[in-house]
């Protein structure tokens, strides 16, 4: 019998690179993959559901969570606060469930310090020009906001070697296949497993 603690998969990307789409689609492929819903002070975008996409809270409520030490990580991103609730994350991992997190580079590196065996996956667009085009096609940001996101993207790309895997999102299906392959491979990594047979003593 194989036993293991759950694995934490952390996906980061510059705004517009497609990580939200990838994380949403991989959850449809891998139904046993738990998803940690982040807390944020930013307002919901069209179509987003409170408690499903994010937990939308006021800054005062966010500060209360911080004061009670209830967040596994947190960061300020594009002038808004984001964080990951610690209790449901730890409960899922202890129960042997793999957890997927969709968070920025600041939060990812905090989680690497807290969970050294976390798997960090960085997603990028093929070029900065392509990234800018995707941001403009969303038609949800002002010119000033697009410029700020592009500047932040240039900073984030510099951190790619701090991650375990890199996915260049040229095509969503190809990127999805790569993300799924990473998850399956990590689930088979012997360092994460405890193997027992009822009629054989197996060293662990």
Q: How high is the pLDDT of residue 46? A: 86
Average pLDDT, 10 consecutive residues per value, the chain (204 residues)? 86 92 94 93 91 94 96 91 95 94 93 96 95 85 88 94 97 97 94 74 63
Q: How high is the pLDDT of residue 85? A: 96
Q: How high is the pLDDT of residue 142? A: 84
In order of their start, the domains of the chain are: 2-36+96-195 (3.40.50.300)
- In this prediction the pTM is 0.87
SS (H, E, C) the chain: CEECCCCEEEEECCCCCCHHHHHHHHHHHCCCCEECCCEECCCCCCCCCECCCEEECCHHHHHHHHHCCCEEEEEEECCEEEEEEHHHHHHHHHCCCCEEEECCHHHHHHHHHHCCCCEEEEEECCCHHHHHHHHHHHCCCCHHHHHHHHHHHHHHHCCHHHCCEEEECCCHHHHHHHHHHHHHHHHCCHHHCEECECCECCCC
């Amino acid at each position: 019998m194989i036993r293991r603690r759950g694995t934490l998969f952390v996906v980061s990307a510059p705004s517009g690179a497609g990580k939200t789409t990838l994380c949403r689609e991989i959850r449809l492929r891998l139904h046993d993959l738990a998803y940690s819903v982040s807390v944020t002070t930013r307002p919901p975008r069209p179509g987003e559901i409170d408690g499903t996409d994010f937990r939308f809270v006021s800054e005062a409520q966010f500060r209360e969570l911080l004061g009670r030490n209830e967040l596994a990580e947190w960061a300020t991103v594009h002038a808004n606060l984001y964080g990951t609730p610690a209790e449901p994350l730890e409960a899922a991992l202890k129960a042997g469930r793999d957890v997927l997190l969709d968070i920025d580079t600041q939060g990812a590196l905090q989680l690497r310090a807290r969970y050294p065996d976390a798997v960090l996956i960085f997603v990028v667009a093929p070029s900065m020009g392509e990234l800018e085009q995707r941001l403009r096609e969303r038609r949800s940001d002002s010119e000033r906001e697009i410029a700020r996101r592009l500047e932040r993207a240039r900073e984030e790309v510099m951190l790619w070697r701090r991650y375990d895997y890199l996915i260049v999102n040229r095509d969503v299906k190809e990127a999805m296949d790569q993300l799924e392959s990473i998850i399956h491979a990590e689930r088979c990594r012997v360092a994460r497993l405890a193997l027992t047979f009822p009629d054989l003593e197996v060293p662990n």
